Amino acid sequence: MPNGMLPAHKVPAARFSLPRSYAVWVAAQIVLYFLAIALLVEGIFLSEHFIDLVGDFTDEIGSVAKAFLLAVLTAPEVHFAIPVAMFVAVYLVLLRCRERRELIAIAGVGIGGRVFARFALILGVATMVASFVVTGTALPYARFDFRSDLFAFRNEAIRAGGAAEHFFMFRDNTVFKWSASRRTGNTALFVYQSRENGNDRAISAGDVQVMKSAKQDTLQLALINVIAADVPRTSPSLDSSASEMAESGTGGCANCASAGERTLRAGNYLGTLKLSDLSDLEPRGSKSAEWSSSELLAISSPPGDISNLDRTRELMNRFARGLLCLCAPFIALLAVGYTTRRSRPFVLPAACGLILCLDVLSLTIIRALAVAGAAATAVGLMAFFVVVLMPTVWQINARQSAIIRPALAKA
């Protein structure tokens, strides 16, 4: 045996791993692609939502700037795009690396598919954590901030008098305000009240003025030529049923006269209206969607009281979206192996459709198992995603040559 040589059975086996610099470079590209795709989806969603807010609430909230602020608060609602954005980012970056023959060069030095599977696992775990942060912390508080700011903006616009030619929808009241005379500036008002006694009430005023009030939560209203009439829900005719007028607080009016059992006329009416009677801001936690994940898990004291079924569904929805983020990089890696010159136009849309189908199926499982409790639902979700993930990993190992070999070049 030559000097300095070791027996063949004692030669240490070389352990090849993905170079750290190359892994960081690929991961940086994936992050940039992910951010670009997520921002694109955010931009499309926010632009459409901003248009809806401008069309529906501009007259109620007072300005376009406030509508823009409300649209920004809805940005976390696009959390459903996180797994799709990660899938597309991983797919595009790895496909480009494959066509540049980078993957086949790495395989030539002994690096196999397990390294890429571990790389996909790291990306999946990072995306899952990001999803949990968005859905479990940012989204619940953003939903309450949106509702709170919308309530504050509407009350501010109402105290200023509100916009003419516009419907204002409240809890039990529908109000329409219009300019009765452009020359005099008189503003007419029509109010339809939904009441529990079976008789709704319609109120019209020939002119209305909103005066300053010392209290922030009240309005001083001066109404002229007021007509109030009860409208029975069971019959379209006012004469078909008789009902006494409910107490309407006519002590603040002058020249009041009864014009029948169901109609009241008032020449002048001066009254105080509490904004809380129109609409009230429910505290945060009145809906499970506004609870953070720690509150749903009862780690901290929840601010409200909801049923266990609603709590389970909301928590499991977030858990299912996180598991889908975990699977997205593996699906992208497998999609690269199926991408050829002929299949290229179809692989990406088909894989995105698969991710959306998995999302729908996971939500269906939640609806079916939520009655059994959070533990049973979580076990069912994990079993479902294990059934999805295990064949995917097996296919990745079986199609290693297709994943690393360039297939789009003509030569």
On the question of pLDDT at 268 being above 90, the answer is no
Average pLDDT, rounded, for the chain:
76
Per-residue model confidence (pLDDT) at position 214: 60
Q: Residue 338 carries which DSSP code?
A: T
Per-residue model confidence (pLDDT) at position 283: 77
Residue whose token pair is 């999302």: 359
Q: Residue 214 carries which DSSP code?
A: S
On the question of pLDDT at 183 being above 90, the answer is no
On the question of pLDDT at 408 being above 50, the answer is yes
Residue type present at position 155: N
- pLDDT band (50, 70, 90) for residue 269: low
Per-residue model confidence (pLDDT) at position 296: 83
Per-residue model confidence (pLDDT) at position 215: 62
Per-residue model confidence (pLDDT) at position 33: 95
On the question of pLDDT at 173 being above 60, the answer is yes
Residue with the bigger pLDDT between 343 and 54: it is 343
On the question of pLDDT at 282 being above 80, the answer is no
Round to whole Å and give the CA distance between 256 and 240.
Answer: 25
On the question of pLDDT at 318 being above 80, the answer is yes
Which two structure tokens, joined as six digits, stand for 291? Answer: 């609870």
H helix runs in 134-274, sequence order: 139-159
Round to whole Å and give the CA distance between 83 and 315.
Answer: 18
On the question of pLDDT at 254 being above 50, the answer is no
**Per mean pLDDT, which range of 241-255, 324-338, 370-384 is the poorest?**
241-255
Per-residue model confidence (pLDDT) at position 255: 46
Round to whole Å and give the CA distance between 228 and 191.
Answer: 9
Q: What is the pTM of this model?
A: 0.73
Angle at 162 between CA 160 and CA 168, to 5 degrees: 140
pLDDT, average across residues 90-107: 88
pLDDT, average across residues 333-350: 91
On the question of pLDDT at 281 being above 60, the answer is yes
- pLDDT band (50, 70, 90) for residue 411: very low
Could you tell me the residue ranges of all domains in the chain? 16-156+288-404, 171-277
CA–CA distance from 379 to each of 130, 246, 317, 373 (Å)?
22, 56, 13, 10
Four-CA torsion 284, 378, 387, 121, nearest 10 degrees: 60
- pLDDT band (50, 70, 90) for residue 307: confident
pLDDT, average across residues 4-23: 54
